[in-house]
Structure 1
Amino acid sequence: MKPIGHWRHRADKALTRAMNGVLSEYGLTRLDWQVLNVIRDTAPEATDSAVLSALAARADLLTLTASVDAVLTGGWTTRTARTDWPSPTTAAIGRPPSPSASRRSATCA
């Protein structure tokens, strides 16, 4: 009899294959979807380090960084510079602005 961990691992692999198949239509993977969920759950303070630490058990640093880049380049989220943080290279990542929000900010500017 196989240990429960074996079956959990197989179920996780099957779930990943199924989700990757469904999400591929949108140019996403299961890991990309998990990145988006972490961003949603931690917005507006979502940072790269928050996403990476939340998903560290799911993938290595290089793979996670590639997923963050994929959701950014795919337009699923945006990076916003924060001037109140100590490092000028630190940025928040969050939901892309809605078209009405960009019209409001353009009008107010």
Structure 2
Amino acid sequence: EVVMTFMFLLIILGVTDSRAPKGFAPLAIGFGLTLIHLISIPVTNTSVNPARSTGVALFAGVELFSQVWLFWIAPILGAILAGWLYVAVFSDSTVGERQNVEELV
């Protein structure tokens, strides 16, 4: 869950960045989510969506509901790590400078 959510958020952050080509975000996000599910469902029955995990667990029984915490904590941790890495590695340090120049024009 941590690794798959991490990868999914990196895909989302990358294709929605202002420097990315426009119009390809839905394809990249859709194919990325499909690939994540094809890889990880056989391993952990992943959902990469805490709400989906919770809904299924509500109907599966009390013994399975005790595992739902992992399907909440792991995606949150993966998202935090992806956000941190994206800002640390891929952020554009001149974004603030460009905004100031555009305000002057």
**TM-score (norm: length of structure 2):** 0.34
Decide which structure has greater strand share: 1
Decide which structure has greater helix share: 2
The one of the two structures with greater contact order (alpha-carbon pairs below 8 A, sep at least 6) is 2
